[in-house]
Amino acid sequence: MPDITTALKGCGECPIRHRAVCALCDPPELRELDAIKFYRSFPAGQTIVWAGDQMDFLASVVSGVASLMQTMEDGRTQMVGLLLPSDFLGRPGRGTAAYDVIATTDLVMCCFRKKPFEELMARTPHLSQRLLEMTLDELDAAREWLLLLGRKTAREKLASLLVIFARRDAALRLTRPESEFSFELPLTREAMSNYLGLTLETVSRQFSALKRDGVIRLEGKRRIVIPDFQALLAETGDDSDGGVPS
């Protein structure tokens, strides 16, 4: 609950921080969105919506991490969306959720009721253009993810995920990932295994291997230190120029 206050403060105080908290609430749509937005927070582990449920709002992640999970009939699960701060949730023009949405950490979202949001969309070309841009970014991210799942080894997969975290973290701090860079892992080993298409045991073993080889250090179980970001990048198997040159 204190998180909500923080988020609201962030929204009103500093344009830069604001940009980080709600990717949509930017001029000139800002004023109109303000009228219909509200904040919700969820504790870690809570399911926000179940696949197939009615979903009467759209939202943007303010702080924390949410994930979209897909389940097969025999119970196998795969993460199909990882929503970090500023990412968007929901599909305009659709009434029900296609995937389970889970708060992976404590989570605050900036929500918009579906009806007024869609009316605003119809009146505001800028809004759907912005949404198109964000969706295209998400599609690009999904395509990187396809390569990861289809062709990368377990070690490359984990290194790639750590790079994603490092870049997001650096973006929030308005720096670049530098030598001796450290951050908090926002996911459990199990959640990471669901992202990577592995078992949690394999994820754990790859952590140990990267640690053994000096690519990372662990402070406790959740804080990661990256002594040399380039060395980590080299472990991803990606083309040297691949991805966003964040």
Partner DNA sequence: CGCCCTTGTTGATCTCGATCAAGGAAACCG
Partner DNA sequence: CGGTTTCCTTGATCGAGATCAACAAGGGCG
- The residues binding DNA (CB under 7 A) are 45, 153-155, 188-190, 197-205, 207-208, 218, 220-222
Q: SS3 for 44?
A: coil
Tokens 């303010």, located at residue: 62
Among 14, 44, 132, 225, binds a copy of itself (CB under 8 A): 132
Least distance in angstroms from the C-beta of 239 to a copy of itself: 5
Angstrom CA distances, 76 to 155, 158, 214, stand at 22, 20, 33
Q: What is the 3-state secondary structure (H, E, C) of 146-199?
A: HHHHHHCCHHHHHHHHHHHHHHHHHHHCCCCCCCCEEEECCCCHHHHHHHHCCC
Among 5, 71, 230, 246, binds a copy of itself (CB under 8 A): 71
Least distance in angstroms from the C-beta of 60 to DNA: 25
Residue closer to a copy of itself (CB basis): 5 or 129: 129
Least distance in angstroms from the C-beta of 135 to a copy of itself: 5
Least distance in angstroms from the C-beta of 216 to DNA: 11
42 alpha carbon, distance to own chain's centre: 15
Binding partner of 154, given a copy of itself, DNA, none, CB within 5-8 angstroms per partner class:
DNA
Q: Take residue 113 and report the two structure tokens written for it.
A: 């009721």
Q: Is 14 in the site for a copy of itself (CB under 8 A)?
A: no
Among 3, 39, 70, 120, binds a copy of itself (CB under 8 A): 70
Q: Take residue 235 and report the two structure tokens written for it.
A: 């472990």
Q: Is 231 in the site for a copy of itself (CB under 8 A)?
A: no
How many Å apart are CA 35 and CA 233, to the nearest integer? 43
Residue closer to a copy of itself (CB basis): 99 or 183: 99
